[in-house]
Amino acid sequence: MRILSGFHGVAMATTMFSVLLGASALSAEEFSYAEAAKPYAGTTITVLDEVTPLQETLATIVPEFSKETGITVQYELLSHLDVINKGQADMLSRGGAYDAVMLHGAQMGPMLDAEAIRPIDDFIADPKLSNAGLDTDDLIQRPFRTLAFFKDKQYGFINWNYNMVYWARADLLGNEIEKAAFKEKYGYDLGPAQTLKQLRDISEFFTRKRGEKLMGEPLAEDFYGVVLEGIKGANSLWLYIGNILRNFGGDIIDADGKPSFNTPEVVDSLAYWAELWKFSPPGTAEYSIIDVPTVMSNGIAAQTMAFSDFVLGVDKQGASPLHGSFVYGAPPVKEDVDPSRYSADGEPSMIVITQGSKNAEATFLFLQWLTEKKQQSALLKAGNGGVPIRESSWAELKSMDGINSSLMDAMKVSLSRVESKPLMPNYYQVIDALAEIIQQVGLGTISPQDGAAQGQAALERLCRDNCLLK
Amino acid sequence: MNKASTREKTLWTILAVFYACIVLFPVIWLVTMVFKPADVMFARPTVFFFTPTLANFDYIIAQGFLGNMLTSLLLGLASTLMVILIGTPAAYAFARFEMKAKDDLFLFILATRMAPPVCLVIPFYLIYSNLGLLDTFFGLTLAYMTFNLSFYVWVLRSFCRDLPVELEEAAALEGWSKLQIFWKIIFPLLRNGIVATSVLCFIFAWNEFLFAFMLGGKSVQTLPVAIPKLITAQGVRWGEVAVVAVIALAPVLAVVVLLQRHIVRGLTMGAVKG
Amino acid sequence: MSMAIQDASAPAASKKINWYPYILIAPTFVTLIVVSLVPFIYAVYLSLHEARYGVVKDFVWFDNYIQLLTEPAFWNAMYVSGLFVLIAVPVQFMLGLGGALILNRGVAGRSLIVPLLFIPAMMAPVVVGLLWKIMLAGSWGVLSYNVVERFNIVTESSIFGSPHYALYALIFIDIWQWTPFMMLAFFAGLQALPPGPYRAASVDGAGPLRTFFKLTLPLMAPLLFIIGLLRIIDAFKVFDTIFILTRGGPGTSTESLSILAYKMTFDFWDIGHASALAVVVWIIFFIFCNIFYQVAKKKLNAF
């Protein structure tokens, strides 16, 4: 057999050499979970998480960890409110029924205040447990950094990157009759809203009464330009703060935690909010996280802003008659505001180790394992999509079949703007007070000016001059 | 009371059936949802005719809701049985005998039901956590005694008023022990009242949510606790909710239908002054 | 029969303490003390302390109570719960009694209708809440679309989205759920009425209205009292339906005492404060029931 000659031979040799070099380099560094877990093999850890299709997909992958390490994981899923109430009850009582509990970003403030989370810095510093090749710089930074760190400690790796996207009816926005009428009325082309002004204009444009025409056909019932979640609560409040107030350049507190609700930005954004409510169905004040997808899939509203994983549940075959006729984008921003301040609402969430856990090391290994590129890739494949926590996942998602690329692009932009909720010890009292105010403003029972003043008064009463966790 | 004429009876029957239809319309709708496909579930305009599907059952079975049902059943039976054993003598005693501070003792029983359960659940949780009673069958059975026992004694007591003292006296004269009197004379007479009241207790235990949720866990998970799992942040699985609701209703309905004669008879015992 | 007095098997000496009844009630009391009194005492203990996050800290005397009784949220909740009970219970009471009278007059197929009518009371509160969300949710509810919108009953808002209508809708749902229960209980009571007095009354020429007020009502008094009191207590504590349908909103128009308690317990984890609420509600009930009981005993001879 003739050995490959000349150029080819050298090329091959070089390739083989570098592969061998690379391979040996890899094996010198590669972290082994089996090795790290040896002292803990045979233990069982209990993990509490929220039940959504994302976690249900993860549940199919979790047994792999046990195979690799010999540590059994009892992965328990409960509904949104239940995972919060039960999880917090266990964490606060240090009962240890759970080794790890999923916390939404909003819960971090009170849980840190109660010192109920076990930091993981000592584990990260321990070479026997920590994988140096984890590549946490690959995690989508803004949500991760604002969620997992407080003062000089780290409390977990990010697990779930819930984020909001703008969601609209592509068929309406692309209809020729509507496009012509829109251009005539507003002077620019109709398309998915990228600015708040466009969101407002499109909402106004498509709000029509029964009998008026939509896409050339008379309407059998009233139609609305936008549907908003308006039930008194944190979701509605953050829909306003994260997507509107912050994009107006304002916020509820300043960088030092001082209440800053009585500002022109707040008043203007509240006026905007109240105006949007006029283009939303009459039931807005009762619409919760459950109603918005239902109303969108009923086809009586043209646009909304909703959590992207909801969309995954509605925009699929068999779930809604309007499946396939939606377009997505990042939540609209305001034109004249500095792009570095662009904001999108989201709720980065992570599984943390409880203070009552007796198997903290084993739990840490599990949480680190979940964050690995390998597991994240498996998770996205098993779920045929999903919401990534790593930047490197975007390319992978794009290459998958049947992926809604409009949604993926929207999530990517949105996640680059998402920050976790501010860390406040009386986070829930603050939310309760402000939620009531913005609902009143939306309903029109108080003016934006009064809303701003009352909100400021409530904040000052609750936190004096610093709302943030010290 | 005068006997109603047939014409009057027909009128009342029509009225009753009409009322039943109005009251039961939501329930009937729920039953149709069991077989309704997801994309027409809340369509506008309302879709009344659709091709039925069994898809809503898959998730329920896969998630082990039938296991939850079994847990609910066992828990309901166990706590109701305990309540009957402990509460019946007490109800009888309150109806039959003079006691010091009887009124106060009786009000104490009612008082145990007066604080909103939402407020008591955390003290319960903390105590149970310390005693290791969380997520145990025994712990939850015990917790259910809180509201069921007081309800049982309070209601059954008034059904004990018609007890024939003469029979007891005669039996005592013949030398029967107190226990014999209780078992052979009193208990059979109370039977219908016991059935009626304990069915109500069972229904309360079967449907109870808050305590089962906070004090239970993965090992002890009742049916009502499993329902919120269908309310995910990605939307409500309405078809599955309908399935679980109907499954939850069926056993209770069966019990009531089968025992209704006893229940009616039981509720009439001593319920009025005679 | 008249109230049984002395234990027949004891000798006539009335000074001797009869232990028998105390033995009979002992298991009940022991159980209730362990299962009800202990947590309640613990709650009282918590209410006197700063107990954020369930961790008992400083003893604060009655600070939690003062804070509670001076905050508008508490009085609003009292108002909401009070209004709820004040409307829901009498309405379901009267409808139930009326229905029972009708059933008693003679309705064919009673043994089928009665259990069916009982279904609402047999459903888990969580399910009832979800069911009515399906019925009345703004724009996508079955009845919302086919009845409310069709007949333009509520236009500017939806039922649960309106601070004016939401509470009444919730009251309606409570009536829907519990009227059949009252009907069944009262029907059973009517069935047990002795025929004798009625024969005498008709001989005397008494009309149906007079018979009802002078004969039926007094005879039914004990049952009406018991069922009524139980419903009042339970209606005051109603939670699941309100939670699922409005979460206490819009604004605070449906924030009942239980919803407020939930907020304080699970949102704020302000356990001392929530325990104070439990104690205050308990005290209110205790006074109320005491009065009720004494009245029923003397005036209605119900016990």
Helix C166-191 vs helix C125-136: crossing angle, to nearest 10: 130
Chains in contact with C, where contact means 3 or more Cβ–Cβ distances below 8 Å, are: A, B
DSSP state of A195: B
d(CA A134, CA A149): 17
- Tokens read off for C213: 């007020």
- Cβ <8 Å between B271 and C223: yes
Residues of B within 8 A of A89 (CB-CB) are 122, 125, 214
Helices (H), A128-222: 141-148, 170-173, 176-186, 196-206
CA distance C25 to chain B (A): 4
pLDDT tens-place string over residues C241-279: 898 888 887 888 999 999 999 999 999 999 999 999 999
- Cβ <8 Å between A53 and B43: no
Residue C218 neighbours by CB under 8 Å, 6+ apart: B273, C300
Nearest CA in chain C to A294: C140
The mean pLDDT of C117-142, rounded to a whole number, is: 85
Interface residue A355 vs chain C (CB under 8 A): no
Which of A104, A320, A325 to probe by mutation at the B interface, max B CB count within 10 Å?
A320
The amino acid at residue C84 is F
Helix B137-159 vs helix C217-236: crossing angle, to nearest 10: 160
Which of A80, A113, A286 to probe by mutation at the C interface, max C CB count within 10 Å?
A286
Q: Return the pLDDT at C9.
A: 45
Interface residue C204 vs chain A (CB under 8 A): no
Q: Return the pLDDT at A55.
A: 92
The dihedral over CA atoms of B96, B99, B101, B106, expressed in degrees to the nearest 10, equals -30
Nearest Cα to Cα of residue A306 among A238, A259, A374: A238
Chain B with chain C: Cβ pairs closer than 8 A: 320
Nearest Cα to Cα of residue C1 among C292, C184, C216, C222: C222
- Cβ <8 Å between B272 and C271: no
Q: Which residue in C24, C115, C191 is closest to B253 by CB distance?
A: C115
pLDDT in tens, chain A (470 residues): 444 455 455 555 555 554 544 444 444 457 899 999 999 999 999 999 998 888 989 999 999 999 999 999 999 998 888 899 999 999 999 988 999 999 999 999 999 999 999 999 999 999 999 998 999 999 999 999 999 999 989 999 999 999 999 999 999 999 999 999 999 999 999 999 999 999 999 999 999 998 999 998 998 888 999 999 998 889 999 999 999 999 999 999 999 999 999 999 999 999 999 999 999 998 898 888 778 878 887 788 999 999 888 887 777 776 777 888 899 999 999 988 888 889 999 999 999 999 999 999 999 999 999 999 999 999 999 988 889 999 999 999 988 887 888 899 999 999 999 999 999 999 999 999 999 999 999 999 999 999 999 999 999 999 988 999 98
d(CA A68, CA C105): 74
Q: Is residue C225 very low, low, confident or very high in pLDDT (cuts 50, 70, 90)?
A: confident
- Tokens read off for B105: 């003792």
d(CA A115, CA B188): 59
Is the pLDDT reported for residue B8 higher than 70? yes
The amino acid at residue B21 is C
pTM, whole model, 2 decimals?
0.86
Interface residue A448 vs chain C (CB under 8 A): no
The mean pLDDT of C35-52, rounded to a whole number, is: 90
d(CA A268, CA A274): 10
Interface residue C269 vs chain A (CB under 8 A): yes
Chain A with chain B: Cβ pairs closer than 8 A: 81
- Cβ <8 Å between C249 and A110: no
End-to-end alpha-carbon separation of chain C, Å? 12
d(CA B117, CA B122): 9
CA distance B37 to chain C (A): 15
- Cβ <8 Å between B260 and C29: no
- Min mean pLDDT across A28-32, A93-97, B253-257, C165-169 is at A28-32
Residues of C within 8 A of B118 (CB-CB) are 239, 258, 261-262, 265, 274
Residues of C within 8 A of A295 (CB-CB) are 139-140
Residues of B within 8 A of A309 (CB-CB) are 233-234
Helices (H), A249-359: 264-278, 291-298, 308-314
d(CA A415, CA A387): 10
State chain B's mean pLDDT as an integer.
Answer: 82
Q: Please report whether residue C139 resides in a domain.
A: yes
Is the pLDDT reported for residue B136 higher than 70? yes
Q: Which residues 264-283 of A have a C-beta within 8 angstroms of C?
A: 281-283
Q: Which residues 216-235 of B have a C-beta within 8 angstroms of A?
A: 217-218, 228-235
Cβ neighbourhood burial of C108 (10 Å; 0-12, 13-18, 19+): middle
Chains in contact with A, where contact means 3 or more Cβ–Cβ distances below 8 Å, are: B, C
Alpha carbon B189 to its chain centroid, in Å, reads 22
Residues of A within 8 A of B33 (CB-CB) are none
B213-245: b (≥16 Cβ within 10 Å) or e: bbbbbeebbbbbbbbbbbbbbbbbbbbbbbbbb
- Cβ <8 Å between C250 and A286: yes
Q: What are phi and psi of A45, to 5 degrees?
A: -115, 150
Helices (H), chain C: 20-32, 38-47, 63-69, 72-106, 110-122, 125-136, 142-143, 166-191, 195-203, 208-211, 217-236, 240-245, 257-262, 271-298
DSSP letters for A221-243? S-BEEEE---SSSHHHHHHHIII
- Cβ <8 Å between B236 and A290: yes
d(CA A197, CA A407): 22
Q: What are phi and psi of C255, to 5 degrees?
A: -85, 90
Q: Return the pLDDT at A267.
A: 96
Residues of A within 8 A of B230 (CB-CB) are 79
Interface residue A136 vs chain C (CB under 8 A): no
The mean pLDDT of C50-67, rounded to a whole number, is: 90
Residues of A within 8 A of B229 (CB-CB) are 51, 77-79, 82
DSSP state of A97: S
Residues of A within 8 A of C160 (CB-CB) are 283, 285-286
Q: Return the pLDDT at C5.
A: 44
Is the pLDDT reported for residue C154 higher than 90? no
Other Cβ atoms within 10 Å of C287 Cβ, number: 10
DSSP state of A348: E
Interface residue A284 vs chain C (CB under 8 A): yes
Q: Please report whether residue C199 resides in a domain.
A: yes
Residues of A within 8 A of C156 (CB-CB) are 282
CA distance B212 to chain A (A): 12
Which of C267, C270, C273 to probe by mutation at the A interface, max A CB count within 10 Å?
C267
CATH number (domain holding residue C185): 1.10.3720.10
Q: Return the pLDDT at C110.
A: 75
Q: Fold for B56-267, please state it.
A: MetI-like fold (1.10.3720)
- Tokens read off for A153: 């400690």
Residues of B within 8 A of C44 (CB-CB) are none
Q: How far, in Å, are A234, B53, C63 from residue A450 at the CA level?
A: 20, 53, 31
Place of tokens 């996640």: A415
- Cβ <8 Å between C251 and A440: yes
CA distance A42 to chain B (A): 20
Tally the domains of chain C. Answer: 1
Chains in contact with B, where contact means 3 or more Cβ–Cβ distances below 8 Å, are: A, C
Q: Please report whether residue C39 resides in a domain.
A: no
Q: Please report whether residue C112 resides in a domain.
A: yes
Residues of A within 8 A of C52 (CB-CB) are 114
Nearest Cα to Cα of residue B232 among A96, A77, A13: A77
Nearest CA in chain A to B209: A82
Q: Return the pLDDT at B264.
A: 67
Q: Which residue in C116, C222, C293 is closest to B273 by CB distance?
A: C222
Asked whether this complex has an ipTM greater than 0.85, the answer is no
Residues of C within 8 A of B236 (CB-CB) are 130
CA distance B215 to chain A (A): 9
- Cβ <8 Å between C250 and A285: yes
Q: Return the pLDDT at B273.
A: 41
- Tokens read off for B145: 């005694």
- Boundaries of domain holding C221: 63-298
Other Cβ atoms within 10 Å of C13 Cβ, number: 7
d(CA A463, CA A260): 12
Residue A340 C-beta-side C-alpha neighbours within 13 Å: 0
Q: Which residue in C24, C142, C301 is closest to B90 by CB distance?
A: C24
Nearest CA in chain B to A220: B45
Q: Identify the three-state secondary structure at position B177.
A: coil
